[in-house]
A and B are shown apart, each in its own frame.
Chain A
Amino acid sequence: MKPFLLHSYLAVVAARFRMLLQYRVAALAGVATQIFWGCIKLMVLGAFYAVAVTTPPMTFTAIVAYVWLGQVLIGLLPWNHDPELQELFTSGGVAYELLRPLDLYWFWFARTLAFRTAPTLLRMIPGVIFAVLVLPMIGLPEWALPPPASIAHGLMFSVSFIATVMLSCAITILITISMFWLIEARGLSTFMYGVVPVFSGMIVPLPLFPDWMQPFLHWQPFRGLCDVPFRIYSGDIPLSMATQEITLQLLWVVVLIAAGYSLISFARVRLVVQGG
């Protein structure tokens, strides 16, 4: 095992971060798309709420917070993986990665952290400005992103959000690691592209799914990506439950990191390097 040098990993995060912030035009297009989709989702859900016969399990304010947080943080969803790491597997460059004086798992974790957060951060700012400031100004205050239910909810949301980022990175790395065996992660990515948005709550807030599905939805790991932090934010998950929910999130983080870590150690022993 190689020594854990925190500053080296932080340097990796910082360097990748600066690189990824170069793509500003693509980010702008992404923002417009997010806002458009956010409005459609709100109109659809609003229409269902308007004709609801029984009281839905969430208030519409909680739905609005859920939708907007989801739209601005959509880049965090771990359905794709760093294309440059993919390149390493097809070109055989992965051999060089093994030579670095850093632990491979945490080195990739640092890269992935930047890959997940830099574009999201860039896209988040205009999205939030729109959802918080522009919507009330154009006469749609009921669609605006509300503030957290309370300061305590806001703080709990921040903690839960950190767990979300870790969880997202841990899943992304598992996709990367699968390339040790699959070489090409496109198939797995496609699969994740179907699974992650549904089970995280990005397509429809999870509490709105049928009641018989709720126990399953509660325990699966993808819920920690959207459902938990967003509902803590809006107060739909009360403070008394928040600690428990965050613990579950962190438990999944630990399990998935442990899985990734042992898979990497296992894979590097029997690695076949592509290319010549």
Chain B
Amino acid sequence: MLKVENVVKVFNKGSVNEKTALDHISFFQKKGEFVTIIGSNGAGKSTFLNAIAGNFPCDSGSISIGSRNVTKLPQYTRAEYISRVFQDPMSGTAASMTIEENLIMAFRRGEKRRLRLAIKDKDRDFFCQELSKLGLGLENRLTTKVSLLSGGQRQALTLLMATFKEPELLLLDEHTAALDPKTAEKVLQLTCEVTKGRTLTTLMITHNLDHALNIGDRTIMMHEGRIVLDIEGEERKNVTIANLLEMFERASGAQLHTDRVLFS
């Protein structure tokens, strides 16, 4: 389904700040598979998702989604297949616009925007129905501006926006990291609910090793722009967090010592 072959991305090429963010990375993901990505800061996790989403052109290599080679396509064209939830709850919604306006924009993801009235009554019924699934009471606040919602509510809304028009690929970039623990748990639970029972191919970056191992079907670990660990199935089931840290040290020759990882 998702095929990444030999992708290289070097930032600030030729300057003293040259940084190889993706180092000949190759990755294959089956349709419907939920993969979690871990790795220390600067390992290239977000760059990896950005490369798939098309935020920047890759230096070399190719990326295909399904049977389509998207390597050369700009981000806004890839949006037809991909939806994303970012870490910052502010970045997934337009604050000055209402809940229903945000929803309809997401519902038209990847479509041509026409000169016709954006929201019709039947859309509103559908939105109410979908919003009520979040259990946040947002279904009664369709015309509220998003700027009035809390971070957790905005992130839940973003998640709904990313999934209610089913994408082929869902990219979650530490989407619970900026939320308080309780809200984070709630958003994570929603994530599991929306991805389960559907064949939603998902990539999720997390700093929580517990989540990384217990959510989804497969876990990869990145280090210095490469995938250094790839576990799934039985092997993954038997891995503990201590094992994982050990595996990381062996695979990368470095210590995974960011306190964010240890204490999460």
Q: A and B: real partners?
A: no
